[in-house]
Amino acid sequence: MEKNQKDMIKIYTDSEINVERVRVELAKIGIPSLVKNEFKSGVMAGFGASPNAVELYVNPSDLEEASQLINDLNKHT
């Protein structure tokens, strides 16, 4: 099952749209993930961050399969 958030590994960083696309594809194959959106947090707090500061995290046990999916998606874009 899912581990503690602090045990998760950052696997992908990009724009919100691209991270959401990867998150959806991971969910389709049963891989849970966590999105951290520093851009949205910065805007809401009144200071900026890069719009490409959206990060996607997965459990260590899913790292290999998730990496392969991301590589496959990047080949088709």
35-45 per-position pLDDT tens digit? 998 755 454 54
4-55 per-position pLDDT tens digit? 667 899 999 999 999 999 999 999 999 999 999 875 545 454 555 555 689 9
How many CA atoms lie less than 13 Å away from 16 in the CB half-sphere?
8
Cα–chain center distance at 27: 11
Q: How far apart are CA 59 and CA 11, in angstroms?
A: 10
In this predicted structure, the answer to whether residue 1 has a pLDDT above a threshold of 50 is no
Ordered by start, the domain boundaries in the chain are: 5-60
Q: State whether residue 26 is helix, strand or coil.
A: helix
Strand partners, 35: 56
